[in-house]
Amino acid sequence: MRYLANWAGALVVLALALPVAQCQEKPFQWLDFKRDTDLLAKVMSALRETEYTHVREVGLVGNHALAVTSTRPKDVTDFGFYTDLDRYQAFAVDLENGKARQIWSGYDFEMAGEANFETSAVPDMLFRYKNCVECEPGTYLASFAFDSERTTWTLRRWDKEDAVLIDAALYEEPWQGEFAYAVTDLDGDGFDDIGAWIVERNTKTGISEEHLRLYTFKDGRELVTTPTLANALELKRKICAATSVVSGGQDGKACVGVTRSSRTKSKTVKP
């Protein structure tokens, strides 16, 4: 992860003599803080009216930057790169007018990879985060998307959801939660989707509840669907068999059960 403390403010006064377009060979690039000091100076100048302690990530499409910063509470004396109390923010930065607009905030931010949910020259930037600190947090998967029509960075919203829950520490005995998710092509249309499966189990009674969701982009909009009973098992199998970089829970109890049942079924099928 790229990293720059706000006290390195001398970069802000650097002047750009080279147009941004001439510095880019690809539609999207992550800035190298040591090499791309002129572009970084422009981004930091646009962030001058925002409150932050460190610049963590800066990505660029033309004159439109995605900037991730973190803010450390003033009473925290830990001066290391990261602390659990750092609050992260993401901004859509227009380098032409020097304005920054906040599009997200959360804790324990981690870049996760890229995904192509729709036809676009710029893939989504996936990330994981927690929704709170000093609490029982949930871990979420979300993505930054570049809106080519509005020429700005946004947080992709799945219907009314800003993110997909992929883990949680909020269960109390005797309840336990099992999570599995995957970002890959789950419906065969050639584009990535997100499949998320949650099994909530009462260890005393054996009662369980399931939540299975498919997050996909169709006909120009984001959709969140609950598969029918006939399609649910196939989606679970695809989630549990996923080998994509952005996935988790494939070795959990729920997935082990699905994998075992699939193997049993294949052995009993007659030629």
pLDDT tens-digit profile of 125-152? 999 999 998 888 899 999 999 999 999 9
Mean pLDDT across the stretch 74-86? 78
DSSP symbol at 10: G
In a domain, 224, yes or no: yes
Burial 234-247 (b: 16+ CB within 10 A, else e): ebbebbbebeeebb
| Whether 125 and 75 share a structural domain | yes
| Whether 148 and 237 share a structural domain | no
Q: What is the pLDDT of residues 217-258, one digit of tens each?
A: 999 999 999 999 889 999 999 999 999 999 999 999 889 878
| Whether 180 and 248 share a structural domain | yes
Domain residue limits at 243: 172-271
| Whether 182 and 151 share a structural domain | no
In a domain, 240, yes or no: yes
| Whether 190 and 56 share a structural domain | no
10 has pLDDT over 50: no
High-pLDDT (> 70) share of the chain, %: 85
Separation of alpha carbons 104 and 91, rounded Å? 7
| Whether 148 and 193 share a structural domain | no
In a domain, 166, yes or no: no
| Whether 150 and 182 share a structural domain | no
Separation of alpha carbons 175 and 166, rounded Å? 17
In a domain, 261, yes or no: yes
270 has pLDDT over 80: no
> Total domain count for the chain?
2
Separation of alpha carbons 202 and 220, rounded Å? 40
In a domain, 177, yes or no: yes
Q: What is the pLDDT of residues 171-213, one digit of tens each?
A: 788 888 899 999 999 999 999 999 999 999 898 898 889 999 9
Any bridge partners for residue 168, and if so which?
A: 138
| Whether 4 and 63 share a structural domain | yes
| Whether 40 and 95 share a structural domain | yes
Which among 92, 123, 156 is the end of a domain? 156
In a domain, 161, yes or no: no
| Whether 185 and 135 share a structural domain | no
86 has pLDDT over 70: yes
| Whether 10 and 35 share a structural domain | yes
pLDDT recorded at residue 83 = 77
| Whether 196 and 259 share a structural domain | yes
42 has pLDDT over 80: yes
